[in-house]
Amino acid sequence: MLTLTKKIGASAIAALALGCSALERPVPPAKIQAGVVGGTMVSQYSTFGPVETIAVGDTVDSPNPERLYRSKLKRVLDVRSQIVPETYFILMEHTNLMLEVSGSTQLLTWGFEWKRADQLTTEDILIGSLTSSARVIAIELRTEAKRIYWLDVEDWHSFRVGRFWFPVRE
């Protein structure tokens, strides 16, 4: 019996540790989609669910892009995921709120401007629901491979995550 062996890199080992097939590899930075890491809680209006449990046909809280403090339940049209080589861990004031997202994920900042996670600074204030906001106090680039998830949501293409209902979009 002949046994074949093949050396694989650290990113492939990390991908295997995340439960990926040996053929799945982290995506090069130029092709990384917007997304949130597994375990991120998604608002379903009166309840929350981890992003990885949301399925096509479920409804999620989606902010109106013209009046961002108004939301409606919108249907999820598609669920995508991929392994990425790096994520941004964002720590905010108010009992240490945290989000971990890919760099291309846009978050709503003070002045109702959308900003990519890889362009946030500790001067930024993230807007959540009408009555909640939080100042970014630290941003850490994490360079271990992780699976991120994105929900394609009907009409407004955005959804709310975390305890302060932060809107995210591509």
* CA dihedral sign, ordered 71, 73, 74, 80: positive
According to the model, what pLDDT value does residue 128 have?
82
The model scores a pTM over 0.75: yes
pLDDT-based confidence at residue 28 (cuts at 50, 70, 90): low
Which residues make beta-bridge pairs with 167?
A: 160
Predicted pLDDT at 5 = 33
The single-letter code of the amino acid at 119 is Q
- The answer to whether residues 151 and 42 touch, using CB atoms and an 8 Å cutoff, is yes
> Comparing 65 with 104, which gets the higher pLDDT?
104
Q: What mean pLDDT comes out for the span 26-51?
A: 79
Structural domains of the chain ordered from first start = 29-169 (2.170.16.10)
**Contact between residue 51 and residue 149 where contact means Cβ atoms under 8 Å apart:** yes
The tokens describing 169, both together, are: 């979009």
What does the pLDDT look like over 2-24, one tens digit per residue?
Answer: 333 333 344 444 444 444 444 45
* Residue 95: predicted pLDDT: 60
Confidence of residue 130 (pLDDT cuts 50, 70, 90): low
pLDDT for 90 beyond 70: yes
> What does the alpha-carbon distance between residue 96 and residue 135 come to, in Å, rounded to a whole number?
10
Does residue 40 contact residue 148 with C-beta atoms inside 8 Å?
A: no
Q: Would you state the pLDDT for residue 106?
A: 92
Name which residue leads in pLDDT, 140 or 30. 140
